[in-house]
Chain A
């Protein structure tokens, strides 16, 4: 598979939306926000619930498009909207295995001995989010820290410990 370079234009590093011309701004804001929001929620919940949460958060954003420009950190806020929207479902989903897509690369290791998708699901939540966002999606530590509301030093720890655990799991199978 051809590896596409990371899109460095994260909404977190951009100035906040200033105008109230909501319809136009909403579309442009969403075009920037949708991808990272979805990456974050999928990293947390797996592909099924993650996509559901993203859709719910975007729906909420449309309902509140007039207020979006007030947010310092729209993606962090919408990330929490997505989390809350899953609450009714999570009561009975809690103990279920997370569903991550299988690693499908067209390279020679298409069916490597241990699939990354299954290993990622076994990391703990913080480590999984940090490792996926930083190493799979190319976020900076500061962006992840803003999203989760923790210090970037803590993100560093999660990434390093998570990556180490990932290597161990990949090795052990």
Chain B
């Protein structure tokens, strides 16, 4: 029933959009009689509501979980959603340029004991402050601004209706406003510190990310992020061939090969590890430093046994090498270490004091 008026046509199509949004279970169990009879009588119960919904064959998807459930219960309730194709990583990029570190905190209780008590409906991606945030998918900015707990935050709604919520931004990209169309991978802003006053302010800088399905509430983004992180190594990273089992970037491969050949002349056989995927880095950090988020993301490298750099370090960029000689890490005072200290700078490799085995390719600018 097309009319000649474009606005009325849009309204009519909009009506179909509204009608197409699936029904869901109510957010609280009891309902009240209309107040026209002068009193509010609590009637109904969760069981009766369940009965009416099964009777009418509505899709039952609980979208919000009341505070007060145990963590296990809340996770179970929030995860009772099948993963639709949109969450399987098609046309989607990781929100942080260069990747980030995250653990599955979906459903955890947050800021307990304050008026902001809530259940985590997304995942925190830990990265350095100032890292660029990009749009995971194309869509429209549906809400941008500041919120009490989230700090600077924005919602992006994709063409399929899935909403992406980015919170904890320090600054927004220039010209970002409501209703603006955003391309996949477009810069949205940078990661900032968590706003003061929030009890989460003790956490290191991170991007808080939520994914909400159209009319169905939040889903756990962890599987999607894991898949994206593993399938997309940091962009602009070209890895060279393996040298004695060490993989580094293309630029660093030739100096490294020269260094290892020179060491062989001095009868020192070097091997080791260069590039590490973010997942690998995180596992190593967890094993050496401890299981808690503080251990994994905040602890100084020198406090771990053996010392391990924080996630997001130079191993991810393919310019760092952990050398081993004869199957063991290069240690202070060993022949291999003495040789490296003396000769590595010729090949533009520099070492750090805390980790005698850790050497990084830092080409000198001089001709």
Which residues of chain A have a CB within 8 Å of any CB of chain B? 1, 3-6, 26-27, 30-31, 34-35, 38-39, 42, 47, 51-52, 54-64, 77, 80-81, 83-85, 87-89, 101-105, 107, 109-118, 120, 131-132, 135-138, 163, 166-167, 170
Stretch binding the partner chain, chosen from B4-12, B68-76, B87-95, B223-231: B4-12
Q: Could you tell me the dominant secondary structure of chain B's interface residues? A: mixed
Q: Could you tell me the dominant secondary structure of chain A's interface residues? A: helix
Chain A residue contacts of B8, Cβ below 8 A? 135, 163
B34 within 8 A of partner (CB): yes
A-B contact pairs, 13 of them (CB 8 A): A39-B15, A39-B18, A39-B19, A52-B27, A55-B26, A55-B49, A56-B31, A60-B44, A81-B32, A87-B32, A89-B28, A101-B18, A135-B15
Chain A residue contacts of B15, Cβ below 8 A? 39, 132, 135-138
A93: min CB distance to chain B, Å: 12
Chain A residue contacts of B48, Cβ below 8 A? 59, 62-63
B23 within 8 A of partner (CB): yes
Chain B residue contacts of A113, Cβ below 8 A? 179
Chain B residue contacts of A117, Cβ below 8 A? 14
Chain B residue contacts of A83, Cβ below 8 A? 34
Given the known interface contacts A55-B24, A55-B25, A104-B17, the answer about A81 and B34 at a Cβ–Cβ threshold of 8 Å is yes
A56: min CB distance to chain B, Å: 4
Chain A residue contacts of B267, Cβ below 8 A? none
11 further contact pairs, Cβ within 8 A, besides A62-B55, A63-B44, A116-B11: A1-B16, A5-B1, A34-B56, A62-B52, A84-B34, A102-B161, A105-B17, A109-B10, A115-B140, A135-B12, A163-B7
Within 8 Å by CB of B157, from A3, A102, A167, lies A102
Stretch binding the partner chain, chosen from B35-43, B124-132, B194-202, B333-341: B35-43
Chain A residue contacts of B24, Cβ below 8 A? 51, 55
Q: Interface code B106-137, partner A: CB below 8 Å = 1, 0 otherwise? A: 00000000000000000000000000000000
